[in-house]
Structure 1
Amino acid sequence: MRAQRSASDPLGPPASPPAFKPSFLPGPPCRWPCYPVVREEDREPIPPFHLPSMRNKILARNDSARENAMSQPAAAAFAPLPFELVYDDGEPLETDWHTRELPLLRHLLRQAMAEQGRTDFFAGANIFVYYSVEQAREVAEEMAKGLPWRTFRGPDVFWVGGVDPGRKREAWIAWEEGGRLPDVVFEMLSPSTAKKDRTEKRDLYARVFRTAEYFMYEHETRKLEGLSLAGRFYQPIQPDEHGRLWSEQLGAFVGLWHGEIEGKQDDWVRLFHPDGSLIPTEAEAERRRADEAEAELARLRALIAERDRG
């Protein structure tokens, strides 16, 4: 998934440990280890999308590790790790379309926030999200030993609100972010990932991340789906008359747009203003300003010519 670069680049200084204890959701065990996670008090579930029991049996050693982690103080998460974090796995994106869509969506998230005057957020694309030390250890072991990649690495695109925008981040590391995890996640499905995105990852985002909104798009079928978390369960976000899905977190619609991006005509996942107008990229906004300036100049020239004739 990620372009190869040095795994030894330093991260910025860790944030001061917050005063909390890791908290865990009730119910069947997670597919991946669950430490540390902070969540609000559970609300009453609304279960149109009941989360299935985890399909992959968790090993007893992971159960034991999770129980031990639950009894540790939060400050333990800030101790030096006995292994090096991995920031890139060298895996290319699935298709040429993915190489354009992911940075496009991240850029549009930043544009949407700029229009709203917000700077307290982080938007990431194709980077690791570490939600537990055990997960980070397993990723490092898979990379070091050349094992098949089974451990969760990160969403395609994600957004977190209410965080320090100036912090240097090579990855999103929950225990350096006060336990925060993505508020909004986007996954671009492909035939090889669709099943996992709709099952294992959905369970992880609901039970562990507590991600408020989860959007999925399958390019081959042009199917766009949105889920909103209610208690411990996801419920579908109903599309408007244009097939767009409203995001309460982003204050924008998520929808499809057909046009040219980097010389390629295709359908793209984009963001739209509440009035339905397209949130432009920086280049599109610049072209629009140039067109408006040219139109105004033409108008003034026409007025001068008319005056001279009179």
Structure 2
Amino acid sequence: MAISAEALQTTSFTGVEFAKQMPNARLILSDEPQMESPEHYEQLALLTTSLSWIWRDRQGFFIGANLSIYYDRNELLRRKFCGPDFFLVKDVEQAKRNSWVIWEEGGRYPDLIIEILSNSTAKTDRIDKKALYQNIFRTPEYFWFHPYTLEFVGFSLTSNHVYQTIPEHKGMKWSNVLQMYLGIHANKLRFYAPDGSLIPTPAESAQIEHERAEREYQRAEVLAAKLQALGIDPTTI
């Protein structure tokens, strides 16, 4: 049975004692608030569905979307956790999770985090969370994007464990973790191939395939009409 974060406060155990009593701390549910606007939902859905589609033939990664990360079992009862809007962990078991519990995942922290800024969270995302991801999580790459102002900033962790700004290349920022670019297209944060071309979403890919099939059908119809005009039955060819 999954356990809510509120239920943790009713026990007399310490955080460590409580964690030891649990057969699997992954049963702790995520405790993240709802996102603030339809634009935030759309952006988050776009990132998660797009990366899942791009990596559909890969195994061993986990994408978290508005999911709590529990990173300090000593402070478990005090609900010390953080919930990035979007995070990626590579080279892990590809399974569903109620939350990401660091000590249940072999100490694995996210390899990449993206925060979708809002007026109420921007200061926290720019200062407090940046410090957390740099100093505690040691997350190799951290990006933030504001869906209204289109502010887009990225950081990579240096060998000295300090974030440095990722430079722009033709309006995009390279991600070593993804081996892709991130950039803005039609006011949305999107994934770009190493050659700089926009990577289609699943819906866009389906539309491209539909249009290709339609062109092939029309060419076949034109060819069949020409053959019939010559007195040739196209079905015999």
Q: Could you tell me how far 1:308 is from its partner in structure 2? A: 2.8
Paired letter, 2:167 = Q
Cα distance in 1 for partners of 2:86, 2:75 equals 19
Higher RCO by CA contacts (8 Å cutoff, separation 6 or greater): 1
After the TM superposition, which residues 127-276 of structure 1 pair with which residues of structure 2 at under 5 Å, given as runs?
Answer: 127-139=67-79, 151-165=80-94, 167-231=95-159, 232-241=161-170, 243-258=171-186, 267-276=187-196
Give the secondary structure class of the aligned counterpart of 2:21. coil
* Among candidates 3, 17, 28, match of residue 8 of structure 1: 3
Q: Which residue of 1 aligns with 2:8?
A: none
Question: Quick one: percent identity of the two aligned structures?
Answer: 38
Cα distance in 2 for partners of 1:177, 1:85 equals 13
Does structure 2 retain, via aligned residues, the 8 Å contact 1:184–1:211?
yes
Does structure 1 retain, via aligned residues, the 8 Å contact 2:28–2:99?
no
Cα distance in 2 for partners of 1:290, 1:254 equals 27
4+ residue runs over 6 A deviation: none
TM-score (norm 1): 0.64
Q: Which has the larger radius of gyration?
A: 2
Does structure 1 retain, via aligned residues, the 8 Å contact 2:40–2:147?
no
Q: 1:136 to 1:210 in 2, by over 3 A?
A: same
Q: Which residue of 2 aligns with 1:93?
A: 35
Q: Which residue of 2 aligns with 1:35?
A: none
What stretches of structure 1 of length at least 5 have no aligned partner? Answer: 1-5, 10-64, 70-75, 140-150, 259-266
Higher helix share: 2
Q: Could you tell me how far 1:203 is from its partner in structure 2? A: 0.9
How many residues align? The count is: 217
What stretches of structure 2 of length at least 5 have no aligned partner? Answer: 5-13, 231-237
Paired letter, 1:209 = F
Cα distance in 2 for partners of 1:179, 1:106 equals 23
Alignment deviations for residues 140-195 of structure 1 (CA, whole Å, 9 cap, x no partner):
xxxxxxxxxxx543100000000111x33111111111000100000011111111
Alignment deviations for residues 23-70 of structure 1 (CA, whole Å, 9 cap, x no partner):
xxxxxxxxxxxxxxxxxxxxxxxxxxxxxxxxxxxxxxxxxx9xxx9x
Alignment deviations for residues 227-262 of structure 1 (CA, whole Å, 9 cap, x no partner):
010021011111111x1111111111111111xxxx
Q: Which residue of 2 aligns with 1:19?
A: none
Does structure 1 retain, via aligned residues, the 8 Å contact 2:143–2:154?
yes
TM-score (norm 2): 0.83
Q: Could you tell me how far 1:283 is from its partner in structure 2? A: 2.0
Alignment deviations for residues 190-229 of structure 1 (CA, whole Å, 9 cap, x no partner):
1111111111111111111111110111223211111010
Q: Which residue of 1 aligns with 2:210?
A: 290
Paired letter, 1:153 = C
Give the secondary structure class of the aligned counterpart of 1:199. helix
Q: Could you tell me how far 1:78 is from its partner in structure 2? A: 6.2
Give the secondary structure class of the aligned counterpart of 1:110. helix
Q: Which residue of 1 aligns with 2:62?
A: 122
Measured on the aligned residues, the alpha-carbon RMSD in Å equals 2.5
Does structure 2 retain, via aligned residues, the 8 Å contact 1:211–1:229?
yes
Give the secondary structure class of the aligned counterpart of 1:79. helix
